[in-house]
Amino acid sequence: MNEPWGMLDEAELPARYGTDTVHAMARDPGTLFIYWELTEAGRGDAAARLPAAARALSVPRPGLRLCSTSTPAADAATEHELLLLIDDELGQAYVDWPHPGWARVELGVIAGGVFAAVCAAPPAPVPPAMPAASGAARSTTSPWRRREGQL
């Protein structure tokens, strides 16, 4: 590597990367940590997709849509939904989310109670608050299952 000693160690990370992105992860069984960046272009594209009636009711504002599902499948039925207005196009937040299963988070704009997505985070697993009832086995599939005699 031809890096002068210490040069990259002192460089600051940029505050913005100029891409529409949102990510979510469970901090604990009742809380999601979400961070996002919404560009002006993404905000404008999403606002243009809103119905005219929604845009007539209010100015499109940045927002998040949170949905809970029982599986990470894209076509899984939504069990709970929450729309949140956000103040900044770049930010992070802890959100109360007491819905075990999978959380789907989308970044976009909201106007007149209607949401238009710009991008979506990968589904985030949300653990249950309490252990499963006795006898209620929950099976999971993991690519890192340990086989007998292997690490």
Task: Give 87-142 pLDDT, tens digit per residue.
Answer: 989 999 999 999 999 999 999 999 999 999 999 999 999 998 776 666 555 555 54
Domain boundaries, given as residue ranges, for the chain: 16-126
Number of helices (H) and strands (E) in the chain: give both, helices first. 3, 8
What local confidence, expressed as pLDDT, does residue 10 receive?
A: 72
If you classify domain 16-126 with CATH, what class do you get? Answer: mainly beta
Contacts for 51 with CB less than 8 Å, ≥ 6 apart: 114
Query: For residues 72 and 144, what is the distance between their CA atoms, to the nearest angstrom?
Result: 18
Q: Are 124 and 32 in contact (CB under 8 A)?
A: yes
What local confidence, expressed as pLDDT, does residue 95 receive?
A: 96
Residue type at position 17: Y
Computed over its alpha carbons, how large is the radius of gyration of the chain? 20
- Residue located via tokens 């109670």: 113
Q: Which one, of 62, 75, 141, 144, lies nearest residue 104 by Cα? A: 75
Return the structure tokens found at 57.
């009711």
pTM here?
A: 0.78
Query: For residues 12 and 22, what is the distance between their CA atoms, to the nearest angstrom?
Result: 21
Over residues 1-29, the mean pLDDT reads 81
With vertex at residue 63, the alpha carbon angle to CA 52 and CA 32, rounded to the nearest 5 degrees, is: 150
Query: For residues 115 and 60, what is the distance between their CA atoms, to the nearest angstrom?
Result: 9
